[in-house]
Amino acid sequence: MVNISTSPHIRSGLSTATVMQDVAIALMPALLMGVFVFGLRALLVILLCAVCCTLTEYLYRRLMKLPQTVSDGSALVTGLILAMNLPASVPLWIPVFGAVIAILVVKQLFGGLGQNIMNPALAARCFLLISFPALMGAGMPAVGNLLGPDALAAFGQRMTTLAVDATTGATPLQMLKDGQSVDLLQAFFGFHSGCIGETSTVAILVGAAYMLLRGVISPRIPGIYLAATVAFVALFRAVTGEPLTGNYLLGQLCTGGLMAGAVFMATDYVTSPITPWGQVIYALLLGLLTALFRVFGSSAEGVSYAIIIGNTLVPLMEKVTIPRAFGKRGVAR
């Protein structure tokens, strides 16, 4: 007999899994760049995060006898974003621990996909930052020999050892905070110390372009967030009277976690507003908070905390920005 269900009777080809797949693809350039810059150990951290996130989700759903959801790919994406936010030099139990925090505590205990109020990967990163500051921040791996005649040999070396480079390098963002200028071109390509997936602005932009083309994200949140951060940083620097150079402003834009945060984390569906004006407010708030943390905070970075704080305010922002329905926008005549 024929099937009965109510209209509509057709569906677009899109599914949660295809959307997550697109996000995972978009993350690849940034992550691969991380492997190129930081070597085999970065690859190991990425794999650990991806596997542990997926496994945690699988085991939790299974033990709790809930419908299995690993195949939707959202846990994998969380794993990749978590890895993006870790330095390659972390002890290897950190990705495992972070994955459990992200998937078990931040995502599943809140009810699973769509119910979590904070971005799981970012919340896990913030938790790790607070709990293990020495492991998470200070030990940013120094950048090896990336260019020049010996580059290939150096790359080969990085890809054959899991040892952590004892020398640690200051991140360019820290250098900016300390009043130094940075090599913008190197920063743009990502040849500097930092977390695995955040260093290469160009690789992140390639991922962003892919997601924009595929309609996965709209430019609204990342665009406003980036612009607002630069604007507020400039404003605050003007207020404090510290020197404000082009190098400083552009450096703010393409070093640290801002670009990765704006493209991959602030746009996280579940933890950003769905209403158009809610998205505007959210992005502006993220820009304001990021600038506040970066200019006045004790650490050079502020993107993760800004986004996490923004996440918690999303329900409120949506509530006050419900769009006016079609016929109620103007008068009939």
Partner 1 sequence: MNLRTFKHGIHPADGKALSANEAIRDFRPTGEMVYPLNQHIGAPAQPVVAVGDPVLVGQTLAQPGGFVSAAICSAASGTVKAIELRRTVSGKEALSIVIENDGQYTPMPGVGERRDYTALSGQQILDIIRDAGIVGQGGAGFPTHVKLTMKEGVQPETIILNAAECEPYLTSDYRLLIEKTDRVLEGLQVVLQIFPQAQAVIGIEANKPEAIRLLTEKTAALPHISVQVLKTKYPQGGERMLIHAVTGRDIHSGKLPIDAGCVVLNVSTVMSIRAAVCRGIPQIAAIMTVTGEGAASPCNVSVPVGTSHRELLAFAGGLKGEPEKLISGGPLMGVAMVSLDVPVLKTSSAILAMPEDEVARWEPTACIRCGRCLRACPEFLVPPMMAHAADNGDLGAFEKVNGMECIECGCCTYVCPAKRRLTQSFRTAKTAVNAKRRAAAAKK
Question: Which residue blocks in the chain are alpha helix, DSSP H?
Answer: 16-38, 40-63, 74-84, 93-100, 120-131, 133, 151-158, 172-177, 184-189, 201-213, 220-240, 246-254, 258-260, 276-296, 303-312, 314-319
Cβ within 8 Å of residue 9, ≥6 positions away:
none
From residue 219, alpha-carbon distances to 51, 226, 266 in Å are 30, 11, 11
- The residue within the footprint of partner 1, chosen from 109, 274, 316, 320 (CB under 8 A), is 274
- The residue within the footprint of partner 1, chosen from 47, 92, 114, 316 (CB under 8 A), is 114
- The residue within the footprint of partner 1, chosen from 31, 54, 72, 205 (CB under 8 A), is 72
3-state secondary structure of 168: strand
Nearer to partner 1, 65 or 326 (CB): 326
Q: Does residue 152 bind partner 1 (CB under 8 A)?
A: no
- The residue within the footprint of partner 1, chosen from 145, 157, 186, 275 (CB under 8 A), is 275
Q: Does residue 316 bind partner 1 (CB under 8 A)?
A: no
Q: Count the site residues for partner 1 by CB under 8 A.
A: 41
Q: Does residue 332 bind partner 1 (CB under 8 A)?
A: yes
Nearer to partner 1, 196 or 270 (CB): 270
Give least dist CB 323 to partner 1, A: 5
Q: Does residue 315 bind partner 1 (CB under 8 A)?
A: no
Q: Tell me, rounded to whole angstroms, the distance of Cα 297 from its chain centroid.
A: 20
CB 222 within 8 A of CB 264: no
Give least dist CB 197 to partner 1, A: 22
Structure tokens at 93: 């139990």
Q: Does residue 73 bind partner 1 (CB under 8 A)?
A: no
Q: Does residue 327 bind partner 1 (CB under 8 A)?
A: yes
CB 198 within 8 A of CB 10: no
- The residue within the footprint of partner 1, chosen from 112, 139, 197, 207 (CB under 8 A), is 112
Q: Does residue 16 bind partner 1 (CB under 8 A)?
A: yes
- The residue within the footprint of partner 1, chosen from 166, 178, 239, 324 (CB under 8 A), is 324
Give least dist CB 23 to partner 1, A: 11
CB 322 within 8 A of CB 273: no
3-state secondary structure of 141: strand
Q: How far apart are CA 294 and CA 74, in angstroms?
A: 30
Binding site for partner 1 (CB under 8 A): 2-12, 14-16, 18-19, 69, 72, 74, 112-115, 269-270, 272, 274-276, 318, 322-330, 332-333
